[in-house]
Amino acid sequence: MSTSPQTENQLLAENVELRARLQEIEETLRAIRHGEVDALVVDGSSGPQVYILQTSDSESNRFRSDILSKVTDAVVAIDEDFHVIYLNAAAEEQYEVKASEALGQHLKTLYDYRWIREGDKQQAKEALDQTGHWRGENIHILRSGEKIFVESAVSRLYDKDGTPSGLLSVIRNVTGRRVAEAALRDSEERYRTLFETIDEGFCVIEMIFDEDQKPVDYAFVQISPSFVKQTGLGDVVGKRMRDLIPEHEDHWFETYGRVAMTGESARFVNHAKGLNRWYDVHASRFGAAEQRRVAVLFNDITERKLADEALRESERTLAAQAAALRQADRNKDEFLAMLAHELRNPLAPLRNAAEILQTEGVSEDDRARSQTLISRQIENMSRMIDDLLDVSRITEGKIELRKESIELEAILLAAANIARSNCSANGQSFELSLPSEPLFLNADGTRLEQILGNLLGNACKYSGAGSHIVLSAERDDCSGRPQVMIRVRDNGIGIDPQLLPRVFELFVQASRTLDRAHGGLGIGLTIVHRLVKLHGGSIEARSDGLGRGAEFIVRLPVLDGVPASKVHDSEIAPQQRSLRMLIVDDNRDAAETMAMLQGMLGHETRVAHAGPDALVLAGEFIPEVVILDIGLPGMDGFEVARKLREMPSMKDAFLIALTGYGSGNDRQLAKEAGFDEHLTKPADLNLLKRWLLERGRVSAS
């Protein structure tokens, strides 16, 4: 059963009033019995009636009976044997019996009774024996079997000589009150249980207004146990919010003040900066309007808000990534179209040059120009393929740097020699500024030359005739660690500001036109950037915009101290010793031309086009060097290499793998098969020369 707060308060007030009236009746009866009352005024249906106490017993009894008949509570008198000697009209109605039927009968003809608590019966007996009066509650069981709760005021009756003659009971039916009290206790218990166990925070606050009736603060009247968990604030009852959190925002006071003044509830979500939490809040007036109190039910939704924000951030990130993927896809498509264009470009001059060389009567000048053209176009194609292989290996993390202690000046001079030649051909000037002190790096010299060659090549390519290109290097310890700062600067076409942040991304190149005046695949700077990173350095691109030149700054760590001086390869010019060389390739043209080239360099060569033939020739010829194609039909190059190493005469031979496969895994497989070096097609002839030169020294020693 549930009751409203208004009903509960009304029942409590009525209960207090009834108790007071019962006590008043009891005192009146006692006074009448003791002769302390001369007259009574009783409200009747026809108005107040005055009763004068008579002196005679009959008149006195009639007076008392008349008085008791007017009492609204049940009045029952019994003798010492519990026989009914009197009951008033209220008792007749309450116990559903006529007085004529009950008088002289045992009390149980009216009702039976039961004590509520153990010990109540003994307490009642002791009170009557000691004081002649007892007041308390018990249960009456009517003749119909209905049980009612009653509150009784019982007084002992005495004869004229003071002998106890019976009991007088004034009995009030309090069943309704007891039901209301039980409902009230149940309601309070449910409220208390809810109050104690609710997950949401709950508090009652009392608003504080200034003289202009503006809400300026509030004090805490009551808080639930979950309040502390939801806010982190404890021991706040009786304290003001401004004292607890001075920076608490005004909108909280304004909202609660409006609820207290208007009685209109409010539901809102807001952030409390002082608590650094988000709350979902429901506020409603509590109690009377003049109390200016507000009940606040709230829930900490900080985690949900953070999750929502994280979700929105993820959506933004995914949208950005999707846009980046779409851009990368467009870049890829453009790159593939460009790759097809760039690879086809050399074919026309190569075919034309081949036709010229086959023409009878061609002049020596035309023959020389055709040969130069073929070499140049092959070099261009080789460079593009090498770039593709490099970016693939670097992207997949399969590139291996061959680091050693090298002097930076030698690398700078080698790069400058090539750049100066290119600049001269393009009508450009070139300037080199070397560091003021020797600087040594733990680096891969070939890769450093590749880095500088790419940056200088771009500077030449994107600068017109009359431009000036500068390569400089200087020590820079400003970062807290010893490093060298290498600059490549030009005054060419510059870099679009929109392109500058993405200039090192794969396949990014300035706006492309059909004339392809500058060529290239747009992957060179990606290779440069990642090679610099592999060396533990950094690279930065600068440009003031289109038409205002560009500058690339490379920073690399330098070694402390100066290692023992090294002799650079350019200072060595020994004579190449003739070597016995076996060339194995199923591509007959490739094998024959390689044999011709090596023969022109003074080497003795033999050619085989299959694995078994190579093994037979090796046993007969006993070559010092074997250039072996991996992709042979039947017995592949790996198997041939392993069988060669099993031959006693070939254990010390120098085996070079020549293949179109150039991944890190291919190199590892070659090494495991017994190869000493690995060359990707088309072979770098300069690198091959250096290996053969070194092999000639080893063989001679």
Average pLDDT across the chain, whole number:
83
- Per-residue confidence at 108, pLDDT binned at 50, 70, 90? very high
Average pLDDT over residues 521-547: 86
| Contact predicate 402/443, CB 8 Å | no
| More confident call, 384 vs 119 | 119
- Residue 615 burial (CB count, 10 A): 19
- Residue 253 burial (CB count, 10 A): 20
> Residue 541 domain-assigned?
yes
Helix or strand holding residue 156 (H, E): strand 147-158
Find the range with the poorest average confidence among 55-64, 69-78, 468-477. 55-64
What is Dmax (Cα atoms) for the chain?
175
**544 and 685 belong to one structural domain:** no
Residues near 89 by beta carbon (within 8 Å), at least 6 away in sequence: 69
What is residue 37's predicted lDDT score, i.e. its pLDDT? 55
- Per-residue confidence at 127, pLDDT binned at 50, 70, 90? very high
> How many residues can be counted in the chain?
701
**530 and 406 belong to one structural domain:** yes
Rounded Cα gap, residues 3 and 325, in angstroms: 66
Residues near 442 by beta carbon (within 8 Å), at least 6 away in sequence: 403, 404, 405, 557, 559
| Contact predicate 656/540, CB 8 Å | no
For residue 66, pLDDT beyond 90: no
Q: What is the CATH number of the domain that holds 671?
A: 3.40.50.2300
What is residue 2's predicted lDDT score, i.e. its pLDDT? 46
Average pLDDT over residues 280-284: 94
Q: What is the CATH number of the domain that holds 107?
A: 3.30.450.20
Rounded Cα gap, residues 162 and 43, in angstroms: 33
* Token output for 341: 């264009």
Find the domain containing 316 and state its range.
308-377
**69 and 22 belong to one structural domain:** no
For residue 581, pLDDT beyond 90: yes
Find the range with the poorest average confidence among 18-32, 56-70, 176-190, 592-606. 56-70
**371 and 407 belong to one structural domain:** no
Average pLDDT over residues 312-324: 91
Q: How many domains does the chain have?
A: 5
**450 and 411 belong to one structural domain:** yes
> Residue 183 domain-assigned?
no
3-state secondary structure of 359: coil
Reported as a single tens digit per residue, the pLDDT across 228-256 is: 888 989 889 999 999 999 999 999 999 99
Q: What is the CATH number of the domain that holds 515?
A: 3.30.565.10
φ, ψ (nearest 5 deg) of residue 78:
-135, 155
For residue 645, pLDDT beyond 60: yes
Rounded Cα gap, residues 43 and 60, in angstroms: 20
| Contact predicate 284/300, CB 8 Å | no
N- to C-terminal Cα separation, the chain: 111
- Residue 470 burial (CB count, 10 A): 16
**526 and 406 belong to one structural domain:** yes
For residue 516, pLDDT beyond 60: no
DSSP per position, 388-399: HHHHHHHHTT--
For residue 494, pLDDT beyond 80: yes
> Residue 639 domain-assigned?
yes
**68 and 171 belong to one structural domain:** yes
| More confident call, 166 vs 565 | 166
Average pLDDT over residues 583-604: 87
What is residue 505's predicted lDDT score, i.e. its pLDDT? 79
For residue 567, pLDDT beyond 60: no
For residue 98, pLDDT beyond 60: yes
**418 and 491 belong to one structural domain:** yes
> Residue 273 domain-assigned?
no
* Token output for 690: 């250096």
What is residue 255's predicted lDDT score, i.e. its pLDDT? 95
As to burial, measured by CB atoms within 10 angstroms (0-12 exposed, 13-18 middle, 19+ buried), residue 215 is buried
Average pLDDT over residues 508-523: 47
Task: Give percent above pLDDT 70 in the chain.
Answer: 79
3-state secondary structure of 546: coil
Candidates 29, 43, 115, 131; CA nearest to 75 is 29
Give strand pairing partners of 554.
Answer: 486, 539
3-state secondary structure of 519: coil
> Residue 157 domain-assigned?
yes
Angle of CA points 32, 38, 42, to nearest 5°: 75
Average pLDDT over residues 524-547: 90
Average pLDDT over residues 272-289: 92
> Residue 331 domain-assigned?
yes
For residue 514, pLDDT beyond 50: no
- Per-residue confidence at 594, pLDDT binned at 50, 70, 90? confident
Average pLDDT over residues 616-629: 94
**536 and 435 belong to one structural domain:** yes
- Per-residue confidence at 1, pLDDT binned at 50, 70, 90? very low
Residue 440's region, left for phi above 0, alpha for psi from -120 to 50, else beta, is: beta
Candidates 447, 378, 376; CA nearest to 411 is 447
- Residue 522 burial (CB count, 10 A): 19
Candidates 98, 102, 174, 92; CA nearest to 140 is 174
**347 and 469 belong to one structural domain:** no
For residue 393, pLDDT beyond 60: yes
Residues near 322 by beta carbon (within 8 Å), at least 6 away in sequence: none
Reported as a single tens digit per residue, the pLDDT across 356-392 is: 888 888 888 888 888 887 887 787 677 667 767 666 6
Give me the sheet containing 293-300, strands edge to edge: 215-223, 201-209, 293-300, 277-286, 266-272
Cis peptide before 682, with omega less than 30 degrees from 0?
A: yes
What is residue 14's predicted lDDT score, i.e. its pLDDT? 64
Reported as a single tens digit per residue, the pLDDT across 170-182 is: 999 999 888 888 8
**48 and 93 belong to one structural domain:** no
Find the range with the poorest average confidence among 137-141, 430-434, 474-478. 474-478
As to burial, measured by CB atoms within 10 angstroms (0-12 exposed, 13-18 middle, 19+ buried), residue 75 is buried
Q: Which range is most confident: 340-349, 385-394, 413-422, 463-472?
A: 463-472
**429 and 350 belong to one structural domain:** no
For residue 676, pLDDT beyond 90: yes
Q: How far is CA 95 from the centre of its chain?
A: 75
Q: Are strands 625-629 and 84-87 parallel, antiparallel or unpaired?
A: unpaired
As to burial, measured by CB atoms within 10 angstroms (0-12 exposed, 13-18 middle, 19+ buried), residue 87 is buried
> Residue 245 domain-assigned?
no
| Contact predicate 402/439, CB 8 Å | no
Amino acid 267 reads R
Rounded Cα gap, residues 683 and 139, in angstroms: 115
Helix or strand holding residue 405 (H, E): strand 404-407
Reported as a single tens digit per residue, the pLDDT across 181-216 is: 888 888 777 777 777 777 888 999 999 999 999 999
> Residue 259 domain-assigned?
no
Candidates 514, 517, 466; CA nearest to 491 is 466
What is residue 85's predicted lDDT score, i.e. its pLDDT? 93
